[in-house]
Amino acid sequence: MFFYYFDRYYWILIVPAMLFAMWAQARVSSTYKKYSRVISARGMSAAQVCRQILDNNGLYHIRIEHIAGSLTDHYDPKSDVIRLSDSVYNSASVASIGVAAHEAGHAVQHATGYVPIKIRNAIVPVTQIGSSLSMPILLIGLLFNSGVLVEIGILLFATMALFQLVTLPVEFNASARALRTLDEYHILENEENKMAGKVLGAAALTYVAALLSSLAQLLRLILLFGNRSRND
């Protein structure tokens, strides 16, 4: 059984994916830190910018809340609230404004019926099932030498990779909307907008890393199962 955890595919697939994910996380942290020192010329706080974008799109009902943490910002469509973290909410830096505009972009996506986000929301229940049951079913299949259960486990795990894949256009589009809006509303100057773009670009790499990690793990499971079938 331990063969499935200490195998060459782990080193070939999983370790590089983990290293890329670590690099992506370090990059977004360093990029945000760098541009969090640059205060926008207009001096608006990230929360004020977020409110303006929402109001300009007729989303008056969406609240903005202050939450603890650093870069824990997110949009909650069920509660109609955008939550901005300690490092973002009151900051007037180009980095914080970019993050807040990105979250407002998600709210606009929901309001306009952006197709990829509708697809992502639709597969969330399946993804949650896959996340909780894939590995237990896979391990039971290996324990009882059941190829059917192993295949079911792998298919369930694949739903997580699918979710990460659908997430990419959602995140890229939210960032594109944010930068376009910041430029059209003259919230940031041209050079400031480029700086905010670097922050959002670095953040996008973390979603690419998440997809690559899921795909690497999925491929590893498929290769392990294939080897096991041939050995049998």
What string of DSSP letters covers 117-170? Answer: HHHHHHHHHHHHHHHHHHHHHHHHHHHTT-HHHHHHHHHHHHHHHHHHHHHHHH
Reply yes or no on whether the pLDDT at 23 is more than 80.
Answer: yes
In a domain, residue 201? The reply is yes
One-letter amino acid for residue 35 of the chain = Y
For 182, the token pair is 């910041």
In a domain, residue 160? The reply is yes
Reply yes or no on whether the pLDDT at 19 is more than 50.
Answer: yes
pLDDT tens-digit series, residues 113-129 = 999 999 999 999 999 99
In a domain, residue 168? The reply is yes
Comparing 141-145, 192-196, 225-229, the range with the smallest average pLDDT is 225-229
Sign of CA dihedral 194, 72, 120, 168: positive
Reply yes or no on whether the pLDDT at 81 is more than 70.
Answer: yes
In a domain, residue 151? The reply is yes
Q: What's the average model confidence in pLDDT over 145-156? A: 91
Torsion angle in degrees (nearest 10) through CA of 215, 9, 19, 125: 30
d(Cα 177, Cα 190) in Å, to the nearest integer?
15
| Mean pLDDT value across the chain | 93
Cβ atoms of residues 71 and 85 within 8 Å: yes
In a domain, residue 102? The reply is yes
Which pairing describes strands 63-66 and 74-76: parallel, antiparallel, or unpaired?
unpaired
In a domain, residue 117? The reply is yes
Query: Which of 203, 224, 207 lies closest to 13 in space, CA to CA?
Result: 224
What was the pLDDT predicted at 145? 86
What was the pLDDT predicted at 8? 85
Q: The whole model's pTM is what?
A: 0.90
In a domain, residue 63? The reply is no
In a domain, residue 85? The reply is no
Going by pLDDT thresholds of 50, 70 and 90, the confidence category of residue 1 is very low
For 137, the token pair is 């079913």
One-letter amino acid for residue 103 of the chain = E
Known catalytic residues? 103
Give the domain extent around 121: 2-38+94-231
Query: Which of 63, 153, 52, 136 lies closest to 101 in space, CA to CA?
Result: 52
Going by pLDDT thresholds of 50, 70 and 90, the confidence category of residue 6 is low
For 53, the token pair is 């974008």
The structural domain count of the chain equals 1
d(Cα 118, Cα 128) in Å, to the nearest integer?
16
Between 146 and 93, name the one with better pLDDT.
Answer: 93
